[in-house]
Amino acid sequence: MTDVTGETRRAAPQGLVFFAIGGIVLIDVVMDLQEGTSPGHLVTEAAIFVLAAIGIAHFIKALTQNNLALHEKSIALARSLDAQKAEAAKWRKDAKALIDGLAAAIDSQLDDWKLSSAEKEVALLLLKGLTHKEVAEIRGTGEATARQQARSLYRKAGLSGRHDLAAFFLEDLLLPSSLQKPGAGAPAPSAL
């Protein structure tokens, strides 16, 4: 699509020139009529005024077309935004049961590892991708405490660190179902 606002900006000086020429010529014709100027001179100035009026009409037409194009573009953008919002809402609705099931499975696994409530909270924040510093800020503890709780949860779970924690829960979720191999790597989400 063309840059409609750019076209309007480029046409504006031309339109102003036509308005100025038309106004000056009209004033001159009125003054010439009062002074009794020759008909040939009046015809020449009238022709200039007509040309200026044609330029003004062309400018107004271009503005109108540009405004219509802008209006159509804004309607198309609004429709696209509405479609994206509807698609996102549908995805959230369709995935709600899966997300709820995954949350319950993760919670159950954290219970199986016999984590304290603080360790569970740290585990969930680490799964969201937060740093130890961010975990500490959210929980109102020191960064050293967050690191110690993370080490404790890794030890109880038999994991080597945050990457293993994430892989344990998410590895098979990131593959299309046609590529998932049951029994390979982390347990399938349904096994949680």
What are the mean pLDDT values of the chain's consecutive 10-residue runs (192 residues total)?
Answer: 60 74 79 80 80 81 86 94 94 87 90 95 95 96 96 96 91 65 49 43
pLDDT value of residue 192: 42
pLDDT value of residue 190: 43
DSSP SS3 for 69? helix
- Burial code (b: 16+ CB inside 10 Å, e: under 16) for 42-55 equals eeebeebbeebbeb
Residue ranges per structural domain of the chain: 1-93, 113-192
CATH 1.10.10.10 fits 113-192, yes or no: yes
Q: Which tokens in the block code for residue 39? A: 């008909």
Helix intervals (H) in the chain: 4-35, 39-112, 117-127, 132-139, 143-157, 162-170
Task: Say how far apart CA 118 and CA 130 lie, in whole Å.
Answer: 15
